[in-house]
Amino acid sequence: MVLPLLFAVTLHEAAHAWVADKKGDSTARMLGRITLNPWVHTDLFGTIIIPLLMFMTTGFIFGYAKPVPVNPLNLRRPKHDMAWVAAAGPGMNLLLAVISGVLYRAILLIYPQLSAFGGVGNFGSSDGLLSAFFVPLLLMLRFSVTINILLMVFNLIPIPPLDGGRVLVGILPERQSRLIGQIEPYGMLLLIVLVFIDPFGIMQRFFWPIVSVFTGYIFGEWVI
C-alpha cells in the first residue's frame, strides 16, 4: 500500500506545481516542488502523524500533503488559471488510476492463471515463481487504482480548500465565486463533519457510489 500511496500523493502535488509553472507562476518550481521526491511534498503533521494516529485508532487513513504554494498574481489569467492548477491534482490521480488499471488488466490477460488467486495467489503451485513476482505487483496496481480514485473524488468535493472548491471558484461568476471563497476558513471543519459524521448520508449516497463506478469501469467489473 505504501508505494502506490506515495506515488499518488507525490504526483498529485507535482501536477499542481507543474501546471502553475506553465500558467506563469514559478513559485513552486523555485521551491523545488516539481519533483518526484515524496519527501519534498511531505508534511510531518498531515502526511505522517495524522494518518498513523487515524489508522491505529479507527483503521481509516486521513491526511494531507504539504500544499503547493501558488501566487495567483503571477498567473496570466488568475481566476481561470487557478481552476486549471487545482484540477491538475485530481486529473493526475485519474491518469494514474487508468494506467494502473490498464497494467493490471494486461497482466491478467497475459497470465490468466493469476486471475484465480483471488487477490492473494497460490505460492505453492507450479506457478510459484510467477506468482511471487506478479501477485504483489497486481495487489499494488489494484490498490493504486483504488487510492487514486479515492483521492480524485475526495479532492473534487466542491468545498475550499479542496481542489474541487478552487475549481468552482475559478469557473463561477465573480459574485458566486466570492461566496464560495468565503467558506474556506471553515472548510476543514466542514470536511471533518462530512467524512466522520456524514450528515444526510452524503458520503454514503454519493461519494462511495461514485468511487465504485470509477473503479468498476477501470477494472472492467462494471456492466452498463
Listed by start position, the domains of the chain span 2-219
- pLDDT exceeds 70 at position 174: yes
Residue 165: how many other CB atoms lie within 10 Å:
23
Say which residue the cell 476558513 belongs to. Answer: 185
Position of cell 503571477?
74
Name which residue leads in pLDDT, 190 or 220. 190
* pLDDT at 223 > cutoff 70: no
Q: Give me the catalytic one of 13, 174, 184, 221.
A: 13
What distances in angstroms separate CA 50 from CA 55, 98, 111, one per listed residue?
8, 28, 39
Please give the share of the chain, as a percent, with pLDDT higher than 70. Answer: 89
Rounded-to-integer distance, Cα 44 and Cα 77, Å: 33
The C-alpha cell that represents 138 in the structure block: 497486481
Q: Give the number of other CB atoms < 10 A from CB of residue 88.
A: 23
Secondary structure (3-state) at 32: coil
What number is the average pLDDT over the span 215-221? 84
For the question of residue 13 being annotated catalytic, the response is yes
DSSP annotation of 23 reads T
pLDDT given at position 222: 56
